[in-house]
């Protein structure tokens, strides 16, 4: 109930007013059955705009800190995550990767939509970074189609250095579904790169052949 209340009454109308989202290709998303939504990542509000755009409920796997952090902001994060049924996963342990993939498989095996940003973290500069292979591993294991999605404008609505949201036009483009059969390790990496190349091509953004987290860490050390 809370998911739809937030989407249609409490949060969704505000996001629509600020972003005036233009949505293309929504017909590519199946009306039922397991689906993987794989989008580039520009801002914290990306997942909210994806929930707003999709007619079906979408579930993301969120880091456990969103459910345990104290303070006012922590309470707000915890409420939104719990209210919308997002799945907490501890990403600090050695089994973090396998736990995340197992949670994604459960979402899809129940016939749901799993939303993921293959870059793993927000882009620090708007470019598209190398994708993590988890999305393809899960697709190969479950047979669920992968819908590549390009977001733009969300980083202007939710600038990294600003505390409050701002009005700016948001564009969300859903691509054709892609299917992946089980294959070896090398094919998983190749398929991930092809998925990211599709996102790069349709977004018109430059590609960086390294992980966003690695780039951020290097930039932080150099500063």
Tell me, what's the pLDDT at 180?
93
Backbone angles phi, psi at 149, to 5 degrees: -125, 135
Tell me, what's the pLDDT at 91?
54
Which stretch of DSSP H or E encloses residue 88? strand 87-89
Tell me, what's the pLDDT at 54?
97
Q: Which of 78-82, 191-195, 214-218 has the highest mean pLDDT?
A: 191-195
Among 31-40, 58-67, 68-77, 102-111, name the one with the lowest average pLDDT. 68-77
Cβ atoms of 133 and 190 closer than 8 Å: no
**Residues pairing with 149 in the sheet:** 39, 174
Q: pLDDT > 90: what percent of the chain?
A: 68
Residues 6+ apart with CB under 8 A from 173: 23, 24, 25, 149, 150, 202
Residue 70 pLDDT greater than 70, yes or no: yes
Cβ atoms of 217 and 206 closer than 8 Å: no
Across the range 169-185, mean pLDDT stands at 92
Cβ atoms of 153 and 170 closer than 8 Å: yes
Tell me, what's the pLDDT at 94?
45
Tell me, what's the pLDDT at 93?
47
192-209, pLDDT tens digit by residue?
999 999 999 999 999 999
Residue 100 pLDDT greater than 80, yes or no: yes
Determine the angle formed by the axes of helices 134-142 and 96-109, rounding to 10 degrees: 40
Tell me, what's the pLDDT at 97?
64
Between residues 87 and 118, the one the model is more confident about: 118
CA 97, 108, 26, 1 torsion-angle sign: negative
30-62, pLDDT tens digit by residue?
999 999 999 999 998 999 999 999 999 999 987
Q: Is 17 exposed, middle or buried, given 0-12, 13-18 or 19+ CB atoms closer than 10 A?
A: exposed
Residue 124 pLDDT greater than 70, yes or no: yes
Domains of the chain as residue ranges with CATH? 20-56+96-218 (3.40.50)
């Amino acid at each position: 109930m809370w998911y739809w209340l937030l989407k249609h009454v409490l949060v969704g109308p505000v996001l629509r007013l600020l972003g005036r989202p233009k949505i293309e290709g929504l017909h590519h998303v199946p009306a039922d059955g397991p689906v993987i939504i794989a989008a580039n990542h520009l801002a914290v509000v990306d997942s909210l705009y994806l929930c707003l755009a999709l007619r079906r409920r979408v579930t993301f796997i969120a880091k456990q800190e969103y459910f345990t952090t104290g303070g006012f902001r922590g309470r707000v994060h915890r409420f939104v995550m719990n209210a919308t049924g997002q799945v907490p996963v501890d990403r600090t342990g050695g089994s973090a990767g396998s736990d995340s993939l197992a949670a994604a498989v459960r979402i899809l095996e129940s016939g749901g939509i799993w939303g993921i940003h293959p870059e793993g973290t927000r882009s620090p500069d708007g470019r598209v970074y190398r994708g993590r292979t988890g999305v393809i591993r899960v697709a190969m294991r479950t047979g669920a189609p992968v819908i590549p999605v390009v977001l733009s404008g969300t980083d202007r609505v939710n600038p990294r250095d600003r505390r409050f949201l701002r009005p700016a036009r948001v564009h969300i483009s859903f691509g054709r579904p892609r299917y992946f059969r089980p294959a070896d390790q090398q094919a998983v990496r190749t398929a991930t790169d092809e998925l990211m190349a599709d996102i790069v091509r349709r977004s018109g953004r430059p590609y960086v052949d390294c992980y966003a987290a690695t780039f951020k860490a290097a930039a932080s050390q150099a500063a």
